[in-house]
Amino acid sequence: MKQTLLKRIETRDAVIGIIGLGYVGLPLAREFLKKDFKILGFDLDDAKIEKLSKGRSYIKHIEHAFLEKYVLQKKKFDVTADFSRLPEADMILICVPTPLDDHYNPDLSYVLDSTRVIAKYLRKGHVVVLESTTYPGTTEDEMLPLLEATGLKVGVDYYLGYSPEREDPGNKDFETGDIPKIVSAVTADGLEILNALYSSIVRIVPVSSTKVGEASKIVENTYRAINIALVNELKVIFDRMDIDIWEVIEAAATKPFGFQAFYPGPGLGGHCIPIDPFYLTWKAREYDIHTHFIELAGEINNTMPYYVIEKVMKALNSQGRSIVGASVLVIGVAYKPDVDDMRESPALKIIDLLTKEGAVVEYYDPYIPTLPKTRKYQLQLVSTEPANMKDLQYDAAVIVTNHQCIDFQLLLKKAKIFIDTRNALKQKGVKSDKIWKA
């Protein structure tokens, strides 16, 4: 069975099934398509399936032309919501969300529901790989028992592994195929197969167990969360001292060793950094360990939107204006520059807080024309384009996301004061006595 699978990978006859065609699954499919594999994509979102089946992308950095080529012309990329087709795939890669619940506990429902569906259609020769970020032990402690309940045995009838995604949407220097991929499996033969599979599209980093693979991904994002929390706290401290944190970091970063620059902001966004460290926090409790460092970092990062609101209120007060009834424009709602991804964006919390304080809020984001309801926020706003803004229409504007395409010089005419949470105006060389840093 192993030799058959290795041969199918080598000859590109292996069919790659991908469950979840979002910001992880779709770029992964693109890399396998580039290497001439056939992809069978699964998703429960009918709107996604309809778009993809017509060769249309719903993610900015995945081009329509690429999908048209492989969906409509080469017919190498088939998408469906019919999971009874899972037996058609040789490899099944799970790329589903792993969010937190309202109490900051891991929500593995998407992973486990996917595993149950796979178990229903599991056949001999299947290779199942989890790509979603999770706590150490998920693959073997949570997924394996569900698959073993079918009567099929791992390493004998099928293979199981873990290979964490390392996506950075919008990063033009490092796309999926440029980022080394950690690979792990439950059995030695499984690891050999996964090494062959992933090395066909990217440089691999094999590790000794799925727990090591799971832990490595958690460490990557915990490292970033803690360092961002540090500079966020320093920003608040230096603000009281009337010291420019951005200039401080710029100066410190000239040291050629022992320092890596991290930058403050209005909070943390994206599906990974605000969430993943809490998976480790939750798991650590099982071992009677309280993760002080991680939880403190989370606390600091989660308070940053409140800090921004305080700055807005002070800026308005300086103009003799209360926040109640004030017109406020939020500039940028994506969680990072130059992407159309608003997952866990701090802008959502900032808009929510502004609204609760009594402000009349509009937003502008060229990448996100409408702000849909989410699990946490019921906002439902439509982006206000600059052409529809009147001079000095807004009492204040808050820069949350510094997209490169935004004309800040133009927007500077549209509000009485600007609260800049990203140092965007200085980076663009824009100078004005309207600017407040936050």
Radius of gyration of the chain (CA): 24
Nearest to 167 by CA among 127, 133, 210, 119: 133
**Could you give the CA distance from residue 333 to residue 417 in angstroms, rounded to a whole number?**
19
- For 92, counting Cβ atoms within 10 Å of its Cβ (0-12 exposed, 13-18 middle, 19+ buried), the class is buried
CA-CA distances (angstroms) from residue 308 to 146, 331, 336, 405? Answer: 46, 13, 17, 23
Angle between helices 276-285 and 292-318 in degrees, nearest 10: 140
Task: Measure CA of the first residue to CA of the last residue in the chain; give whole Å.
Answer: 59
Cβ(401)–Cβ(333) below 8 Å:
yes
Can you give the length of the chain in residues? Answer: 438
Question: How does DSSP assign 210-278, residue by residue?
Answer: HHHHHHHHHHHHHHHHHHHHHHHHHHHHHHHTT--HHHHHHHHTTSSSS-------SS--SSSTTTHHH
Tokens of 162: 């873990």
Distance of CA 256 to CAs 220, 226, 262, Å?
22, 22, 15
Cα(423)–Cα(12) distance, integer angstroms? 48
Could you give the CA distance from residue 396 to residue 373 in angstroms, rounded to a whole number? 24
From the candidates 272, 297, 308, 328, give the one annotated as an active-site residue: 272
Catalytic (active site) residue 272: yes
Burial of 318 (0-12, 13-18, 19+ CB in 10 A): exposed
Cα torsion angle, 6, 10, 12, 13, sign: negative
- Distances in whole angstroms, Cα of residue 122 to Cα of each of 84, 86, 158, 337, 423: 10, 8, 8, 41, 52
Pair 62, 27: CB distance under 8 Å: yes
The answer for residues whose C-beta is within 8 angstroms of residue 67's C-beta and 6 or more apart is 52, 55, 56, 57, 77
Q: Which residues are known catalytic residues?
A: 272
